[in-house]
């Protein structure tokens, strides 16, 4: 694959344009630096985040079939920048792909809009998170060549988000078994140091923040605390919903776990952007709740050394 | 045959010492199980190594354990695959890892392992990482890999009234039901009570009171049973409980842990759906959150986050006219977060701060048409039951090829 130009239909999701606008912004900047062409799906709808599927499975399947069909209309594969979009959409795609009669039934609801979702051949049309596309289609070697500011000395804890690591069978791990170690690979390719800690593949707690606040914040606070104890300078995540609980709610989570926290949480495009030479301000890092100043200091120190 | 090093988290209560790690070297075919490896270590090196097991064929559900951190059955995990997983994770984090402390804060594994490996005089396979084996999580450990299933798993199972509560007097002979009406619950009936899902549950890690995946899957087994007369009461009970169906954090851990494809989380989502269909209002805002989300997408196409917060806690006109104590507490509690968001600029815009100002999609009518179609049909497609199209036929072909190409004699082994 490597060597090819990357051009994809881009679904930014809701939260990246809502409470984490710095994610959508930094993705645009990084795409420019990498030479990727993003065709934004600005008419596409919310993936339902698992909540709509919980209410009415057919509704979630049809809403996402619409997004897939809009992407297919561009003739391009699709990219998302949210673990939750990846998981919720993969779940619907799995059902749509499993049965032609069911697919036809769903497409019937789209026919009035001149849309239809077609099952791709093996290796054909795909919907991949930025993380997967970066490693599988762009390639780590090419990424390494683009690094102008290696993240030397920066100790980064990966935080995946449940929806992009489980269930393995649905998320294509049979074809891509290393998808649960891609963040580590990217951190390494950017010149950073991987921090191993207990929470990397656990749940941030966000899905129950309105229903079981204490359970939710205990999860976020525990993982941030564990990463601090393991020596992390920051976390990196491909999921804006995880970012909401780990960063935006961090001061509240600190109260629940009854300890000081204060750990920067970067969106994946921000971490990549830093290594590609973008400035923290351009990447919207000032918008975070947990200060990113320490990360900037580490990078300056690393560059001086 | 291949050599493997298994690193077992041991605990001997009679010794008065805390848990510790011990490595054993075993020699077996990669296609044999992790349980086979443990039994070999028990036979050859230390008869006191405690592990529960019986059928060795993923039927009895006795040998639940964590293998490289993943909950499952020892007898259903091939040792060769466990080795590959251990190598992969070490390669990912080991090369540049800043710290690699064991997740359990006990005696440093490297130290004890070194001593034991030296004492036993065995050498580990060159370049291979030890396969880490621990007792199941979220339950007390009795000894080595044996956990106390009673205090957590069975107590929680009993919590959901795991028996049929039928209408009126029992019939003279057996209950007669349409076979089709039972298909829906066959998935939850496949449970073998091994506890692997409980071990993997990330909600229970944060809230030990959570009823949990095994018990809630069992609850669905009766909620979905046409003979049961207490469907509404069961759902009401599970929705009301702060540790019930709305305490599940939707992390999919139980789906990957379950050796029988029960997908407990999917059953919990079915319980939520049924509770919604029954119109059950709960004090945890579970139902209100679901309805608020669904309505916002119908109206706007993408998520209006501040409206979702408002409508989850104080839904509709009634919710605002007479907000509950919880709604007031939650809304007041979210003010500091909002202020922080305004300060940094992440929420500095009217449509993020004022519920309802969020713009709708240009072709929102298309989204509304989808709602109309889906509300009419409400189809539920369960892959566990329906399977993938053409899957059976392909399997049959493959089996046919295997049979025809297998050398004589191998057939008898199968």
- How high is the pLDDT of residue B100? 38
User: pLDDT under 50 in chain A at which residues?
Assistant: 1
Which B-chain residues 241-300 have CB contacts (< 8 A) with chain A?
Answer: 242, 246-253, 255-256, 263, 269, 272-273, 276, 284-286, 289-291, 293-294, 297
- With tokens 């919903």, the residue in question is A241
CA distance, residue B222 to nearest chain A CA (Å): 19
Q: Distance from A6 to chain B by nearest Cα, in Å? A: 26
* CB atoms B379 and A58 under 8 Å: yes
Residue B228: strand, helix, or coil = strand
Whether the CB of B346 is below 8 Å from some CB of chain A: the reply is yes
Give the DSSP H/E element, type plus range, for residue B7.
Answer: strand B2-10
Q: Does A198 touch chain B (CB under 8 A)?
A: yes
Cβ-count burial of A234 within 10 angstroms (0-12 exposed, 13-18 middle, 19+ buried)?
buried
Residue B355 in contact with residue B307, Cβ under 8 Å? yes
A99–B contact, CB cutoff 8 A: yes
The b/e string for B243-252 (b: 16+ C-beta within 10 A; e otherwise) is: bbbbbbbbbb
Residue whose structure tokens are 């990727």:
A36
Q: Name the residue of chain B whose CA is nearest to A52's CA.
A: B294
For A239, residues 6+ apart whose C-beta sits below 8 A from its C-beta are A82, A83, A84, A159, A160, A161, A163, A164, A204
CA dihedral angle for residue A142, residue A138, residue A202, residue B312, rounded to 10 degrees:
130
CA distance A132 to A81: 10
**Low-confidence residues of chain B, pLDDT below 50?**
96-126, 400-414
Q: Do B341 and A211 touch (CB under 8 A)?
A: no
Q: Which of A60, A68, A211, A290 to mutate to test the interface with B (most CBs of B within 10 A)?
A: A211
Tell me whether residues B251 and A203 touch, CB distance under 8 A. Answer: yes
How far A180 CA sits from the closest chain B CA (Å)? 9
Chain A residues with CB-CB distance to B284 below 8 A: 211-212
Which tens digit of pLDDT belongs to each residue from B93-140? 875 444 434 444 433 333 333 333 333 333 344 468 999 999 999 999
Q: What is the pLDDT of residue A301?
A: 85
Q: Please give the residue of chain B at the shortest CA–CA distance from A256.
A: B206
Give chain A positions within 8 Å (CB) of B313: 210
Does the beta carbon of A218 lie under 8 angstroms from any beta carbon of chain B?
yes
The alpha-carbon gap from A198 to the nearest alpha carbon of chain B, in Å, equals 6
**Residues of A with CB below 8 A from B252's CB?**
87, 162-163, 165-167
Nearest CA in chain A to B307: A18
User: Which of the residues B297, B319, B331 would you substitute to probe the A interface, choosing the one with the greatest number of A C-beta atoms within 10 Å?
Assistant: B297
Å between A209 CA and nearest CA of chain B? 9
Q: Please tell me the distance from the alpha carbon of residue A296 to that of residue A24, in angstroms, as a whole number.
A: 21
Q: What are phi and psi of A21, to 5 degrees?
A: -60, -20
Three-state SS annotation for A216-253: HHHHHHHHHHHHHHCCCCEEEECCHHHHHHHHHCHHHH
The pTM assigned to this predicted structure is 0.92
Strand order through the sheet with A127-129: A37-40, A7-11, A78-80, A127-129
SS3 B9: strand
Is the preceding omega at residue B295 within 30 degrees of 0, hence cis? no
Cα A131 from Cα A137, distance rounded (Å): 10
d(CA B141, CA A143): 46
Return the C-alpha torsion angle A287, A230, A227, A225, nearest 10.
-100
Q: What is the CA radius of gyration of chain B?
A: 26
B363-387 burial, b at 16+ Cβ within 10 Å, e below that, comes to: ebebbebbbebbeeeebebbbeeee
Q: How far apart are CA A10 and CA A8, in angstroms?
A: 6
| Interface touch B386/A98, C-beta < 8 Å | yes
Cross-chain residue pair A177–B272, CB shorter than 8 Å: no
Strand partners, B2: B28
Looking at beta carbons, which residues of chain A come within 8 Å of B257?
none
Q: How far is A109 from chain B (nearest CA, A)?
A: 6
Determine the 3-state secondary structure of B299 from DSSP: helix
Residue B303 to residue A188, Cβ atoms within 8 A:
no
B361/A45 touch (CB, cutoff 8 Å), yes or no: yes
How many other C-beta atoms are found inside a 10 Å radius of the C-beta of residue B389?
A: 15
Distance CA A164, CA A47 (A): 14
Tokens 């443990």 -> residue:
B38
- Can you tell me whether residue B255 is helix, strand or coil? helix
Shortest Cα–Cα distance, B125 to chain A (Å): 23
The B residues from 217 to 236 touching A (CB cutoff 8 Å) are none
Instruction: Looking at the complex, report in whole angstroms how far the Cα of residue B343 sits from the nearest Cα belonging to chain A.
Output: 8
Phi, psi of B235 (to 5 degrees): -65, -40
Chain B residue numbers with beta carbons less than 8 Å from the beta carbon of A203 are 202-203, 249-251, 253
Helix, strand, coil content of chain A in percent (nearest 5): 55, 10, 40
Residue A234 token pair: 């920051």
Name the residue among B283, B290, B280, B334 with its Cα closest to residue B311: B290
Contacts of B339 (CB under 8 A, 6+ apart): none
Contact B96 A188 (CB under 8 A): yes
Q: Of chain A residues 251-280, which have a CB less than 8 A from chain B?
A: 251-252
- Does the distance separating the beta carbons of A218 and B269 come in below 8 Å? no
Q: Contact A63/B99, CB-based, under 8 Å? A: no
Distance of CA A127 to the CA centre of its chain: 12
Decide if B381 and A98 are in contact by the 8 Å CB cutoff.
Answer: yes
Are B250 and B192 within 8 A, CB to CB?
no
Q: Which of residues 2-21 of A touch B (CB under 8 A)?
A: 14-15, 17-21
Which tokens is A239 given? 């999921």
Nearest to B38 by CA among B25, B21, B20: B25
Count of alpha carbons within 13 Å of B269, Cβ hemisphere only?
A: 23
Q: Pairing state of beta strands B2-10 and A264-267? A: unpaired
Check: CB of residue A30 under 8 Å from CB of residue A98. Answer: no
**pLDDT value for B351:** 84
- DSSP conformational letter for A120: P
Q: What is chain B's length?
A: 414
Cα separation values, B276 from B1, B228, B247, B366, Å? 55, 19, 16, 25
């Amino acid at each position: 694959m490597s060597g090819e130009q990357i051009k994809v239909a881009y679904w930014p999701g809701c939260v990246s344009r809502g409470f984490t606008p710095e994610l959508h912004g930094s993705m645009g900047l990084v795409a420019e630096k990498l030479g990727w062409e993003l065709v934004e799906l600005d008419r596409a709808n919310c993936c339902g985040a698992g909540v709509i599927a919980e209410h009415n499975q057919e509704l979630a399947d049809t809403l996402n079939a619409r997004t897939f069909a809009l992407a297919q209309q561009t003739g391009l594969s699709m990219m998302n920048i949210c673990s939750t979009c990846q998981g919720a959409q993969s779940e619907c795609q799995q059902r749509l792909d499993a049965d032609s009669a069911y697919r036809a039934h769903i497409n019937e609801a789209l026919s009035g809009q001149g849309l239809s979702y077609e099952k791709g051949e093996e290796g054909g049309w795909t919907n991949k998170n930025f993380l997967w596309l970066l490693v599988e289609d762009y390639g780590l070697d090419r990424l390494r060549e683009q690094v102008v500011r290696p993240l030397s000395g920066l100790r980064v804890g990966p935080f995946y988000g449940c929806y992009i690591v489980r269930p393995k069978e649905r998320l294509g791990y049979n074809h891509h078994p290393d998808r649960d170690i891609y963040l580590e690979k990217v951190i390494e390719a950017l010149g950073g140091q991987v921090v191993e800690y207990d929470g990397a593949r656990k749940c941030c707690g966000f899905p129950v923040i309105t229903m079981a606040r204490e359970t939710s914040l205990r999860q976020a606070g525990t993982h941030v605390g564990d990463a601090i104890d393991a020596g992390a300078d920051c976390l990196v995540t491909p999921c804006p919903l995880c970012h909401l609980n780990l960063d935006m709610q961090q001061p509240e989570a600190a109260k629940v776990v009854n300890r000081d926290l204060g750990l920067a949480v970067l969106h994946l495009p921000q971490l990549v952007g830093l290594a590609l030479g973008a400035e923290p301000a351009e990447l919207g890092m000032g918008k975070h709740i947990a200060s990113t100043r320490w990360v900037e200091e580490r990078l300056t120190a690393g560059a001086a050394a | 045959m291949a050599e493997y090093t298994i690193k077992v988290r041991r605990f001997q209560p009679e010794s008065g010492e805390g848990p510790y790690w011990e490595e054993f070297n075993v020699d077996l075919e990669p296609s044999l199980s992790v349980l086979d490896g443990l039994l070999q270590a028990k036979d050859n090196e230390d008869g006191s190594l405690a592990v529960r097991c019986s059928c060795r064929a993923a039927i009895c559900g006795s040998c639940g354990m964590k293998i490289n951190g993943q909950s499952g059955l020892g007898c259903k995990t091939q040792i060769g695959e466990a080795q590959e997983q251990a190598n992969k994770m070490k390669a990912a984090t080991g090369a540049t890892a800043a710290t690699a402390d064991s997740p359990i804060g006990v005696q440093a594994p490297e130290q004890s392992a070194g001593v034991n490996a030296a004492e036993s005089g065995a050498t580990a396979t060159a370049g291979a990482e030890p396969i880490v084996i621990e007792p199941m999580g979220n339950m007390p450990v009795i000894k080595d890999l044996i956990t106390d299933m009673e205090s957590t798993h069975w107590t929680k199972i009993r919590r959901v009234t795991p028996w049929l509560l039928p209408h009126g007097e029992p019939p003279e002979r057996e209950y007669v039901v349409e076979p089709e009406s039972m298909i829906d619950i066959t998935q939850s009936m496949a449970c073998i009570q091994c506890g692997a899902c409980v071990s993997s549950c990330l909600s229970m890690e944060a809230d030990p009171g959570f009823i949990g995946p095994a018990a809630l899957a069992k609850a669905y087994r009766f909620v979905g049973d046409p003979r049961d007369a207490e469907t509404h009461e069961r759902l009401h009970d599970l929705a009301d409980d702060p540790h019930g169906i709305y305490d599940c954090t939707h992390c999919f851990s139980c789906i990957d842990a379950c050796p029988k494809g029960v997908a407990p989380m999917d059953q919990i989502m079915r319980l939520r759906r049924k509770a919604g269909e029954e119109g059950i209002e709960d004090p945890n805002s579970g139902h209100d959150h679901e309805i608020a989300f669904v309505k916002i997408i119908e109206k706007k196409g993408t998520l209006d986050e501040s409206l979702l917060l408002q409508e989850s806690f104080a839904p509709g006109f009634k919710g605002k006219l007479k907000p509950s104590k919880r709604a007031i507490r939650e809304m007041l509690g979210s003010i500091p977060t909002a202020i922080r968001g305004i300060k940094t600029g992440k929420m500095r815009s009217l449509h993020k701060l004022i519920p309802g100002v969020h713009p709708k999609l240009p072709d929102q009518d298309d989204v509304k048409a989808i709602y109309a179609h889906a509300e009419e049909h409400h189809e539920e497609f369960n892959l566990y039951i329906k399977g993938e199209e053409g899957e059976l036929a392909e399997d049959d072909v493959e089996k046919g090829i295997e049979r025809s190409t297998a050398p004589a004699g191998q057939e008898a082994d199968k």
